[in-house]
Structure 1
Amino acid sequence: MSDKPFRSGFVSIIGRPNVGKSTLLNRILGEKIVITSDKPQTTRNRIQGIHNIPGAQIVFIDTPGIHQARSRLNKYMVEVALSAIREVDLVLFLVEANQKPGEQEQEIIDVLAGATAPVFLVLNKVDLTEKGAVLERIAAYKDRYPFREIVPVSAGTGDGVDHLVELVRRALPEGPVYFPDDILTDVPERFIAAEIIREKVFRMTRDEVPYATAVEVDSFKEREDGGLVSIAATITVERDSQKGIIIGKKGAMLKKIGSAARVEIEQLLNTKVFLELFVRVRKDWSEDERMLKELGYT
């Protein structure tokens, strides 16, 4: 029996949009539970990923990118991210090693000034950055905030991630096991299926269309013998023109989105999936508080 105390706690991953927060969480867990794309503001909800290692349970919280919010939806996303700073045992502030600190980073640092939890600076994408530039970034950030640790990593390749996890483990307090060791995330499969569909919209459409899109799973039925899961989902947009883009010529785009999503959902569920997609227009839903609640943004 080990004499080392069991450590556990909640760790938020924050940063501006599109710095690799979701990619880092997926890398740590060794499974994809959070959708990613090359577009900013892909993540909209707070998602917890549970990482069990010998002597510790770390509950990582992926958050939307902190940005200047204009729509009601974006304000909700920023509030989700800010609440994750206030309610955790440790904060990971993720930045890009190949980018100098700018206004957005400084705004987040200003918010961190009120944090009660220790903060690690995590410099991502070091594989794409000259060593001299990484050292310059470290010096620049050291002048702005008293970070507990500064850790270079590459979420894409995995370099430095194990070291980061070990530093996180050491920084956590002694605590209980919060989740059973076979639980990877606190969100249901139904939610992840909807997110996978939304990810495909983000990856396959452009301009304002991804940001005007929400996805709801209307039904999620598993056959008794476990041989097939039938899913019906609705893609909601704000304009008729966006609906036309999602559907595509003779339904080609909707079929492409559905096919890509089905393959990934099958990998998630480890079973065959029948996926049926519908598209509807709800004008300006991202500005309507009632519709935001109906779509799960509360």
Structure 2
Amino acid sequence: MNCGYVALIGRPNVGKSTLMNHILGQKISITSRKPQTTRHRILGINTSDAGQVVYMDTPGMHQDEKKALNRYLNRTADTTLLGVDVVVWLIDGLSWHEYDEQIFKKLKRAGLPVILAVNKVDKVKDKEAILAFFDQAQQRYPFEYLIPISALKGTNLDELQQRILQLLPEGGLIYPEDQITDRPERFLAAEIVREKLTRRLGDELPYAITVEIERYQELPNITKIYAIIWVERSTQKNIVIGKQGEMLKKIGSDARADIQKLIDQKVYLQLWVKVKKGWSNSERSLQSLGFSEIE
């Protein structure tokens, strides 16, 4: 069997979480149209007769390091390159962006086999342009494979998985064959709540929000979850709660439905909204809220 670790890297919002979820056939990483939705390194474990691929979904690599949270996201993305066997660099579109130059430098330092996966090819009508871009990309870096994919529609994902397995070392299973992630249900529940917040709220507000599970109680017929939604200002609190609590009710209803699917049990979900001023720019606050350097 071929078994090993694969880092999914790329700029924010290129489809890394969507790709991993589609490969696993189960939602492990939360998704939205907004950049920086993924904040933690999350393992997705795919076991087949051919081997075991342990995917690492990472925060997007980006240039903005104005806040402590941004610096944390970049450090998490960078450290993922340590100890993996293969890198899948996901880009969208047939052009390079400014920060891609930094990724080239990091990959050269790492010296790992890299697959370039160009996402959202279903939106590219000129297929000759894909071949031309691949030719140009191969001149810039010695990619092992260059594969056009659509993470959302599943295009060429079988080929991508086959190529990944070919590059992994031979060995025994790293995780039990029925395990699909390294994260506990408590963590996944918090992420689902944050996904619903991100999807329901405006462009800026989600970046000032994080979710903390205060209590996770598993009973025979129901799981009771008590969560705190942390924001940075009282005005943000009012937006999250909404008029007569309507927004918070919608977010809670959305999240509860997804959590029930995840754990296959009835869920009672209680949400509170509280203010922690400047949490996203405080290293101490980040640590207290579960943003650990070692994951």
What is the TM-score with the length of structure 1 in the denominator? 0.95
Q: Distance in 1 between matches of 2:266 and 2:129?
A: 48
Aligned equivalents of 2:97, 2:133: Cα separation in 1: 11
- Which residue number corresponds to residue 107 of structure 2? 112
Structure 1 residues not aligned, in runs of 5+: 1-5
**Separation in 2, partners of 1:67, 1:230:** 37
Are 2:217 and 1:221 equivalent residues in the alignment?
yes
Q: Does 1:278 align with 2:294?
A: no
Alignment-derived partner of residue 95 in structure 1: 91
Q: 2:36 aligns with which of 35, 41, 47?
A: 41
Tell me the SS of whatever aligns to 1:143. Answer: helix
Conserved in 1, the CA contact under 8 Å of 2:116 and 2:143? Answer: yes
1:232 corresponds to which residue? 226
- For 1:147-158, list aligned pairs within 5 A: 147-158=143-154
Question: How far 1:101 moved relative to its partner?
Answer: 0.8
Partners of 2:189 and 2:231 in 1: how far apart?
18
Q: Distance in 1 between matches of 2:143 and 2:200?
A: 38
Give how far 1:122 is off.
0.6
Overall identity of the aligned pairs, in %: 48
Q: 1:163 aligns with which of 154, 159, 164?
A: 159
Q: Does 1:192 align with 2:188?
A: yes
Per-residue CA deviations over 1:172-224 (Å, capped at 9, x if unaligned) read 0012211111110000000000000000111011132100001011111111x
Q: What's the TM-score, normalizing by structure 2? A: 0.96
* Pairwise CA distance, 1:18: 0.3
Match of 1:210? 206
Q: Distance in 1 between matches of 2:62 and 2:279?
A: 20
Q: Which one of the candidate residues 53, 63, 69 is aligned to 2:48?
A: 53
Contact in 1 for aligned 2:34/2:203 (Cα 8 Å): no
Considering only aligned residues, what root-mean-square deviation do their CA atoms show, in Å? 1.0
| 1:151 to partner: Cα distance | 1.0
Show the 5 A alignment for 1:137-148: 137-148=133-144
Q: Which amino acid aligns with 1:11?
A: V
**More deviation, 37-46/135-144:** 135-144
The match for 1:267 is 261
**How big is each residue's C-alpha offset from its partner over 1:119-174, in whole Å with a ceiling of 9 and x where there is no partner?**
11011111111212322321232222111111111101101001100111111001
Query: Is contact 1:101–1:140 with CA below 8 Å preserved after alignment?
Result: no
Are the aligned partners of 1:101 and 1:137 in contact in 2 as well (CA < 8 Å)? no
Unaligned runs of at least 5 residues, structure 2: none
Report runs of 4+ in structure 1 exceeding 6 Å deviation: none
CA distance in 2, matches of 1:258, 1:99: 39
- SS of the residue corresponding to residue 138 of structure 1 reads helix
Distance 1:134 1:39 in 2: 26
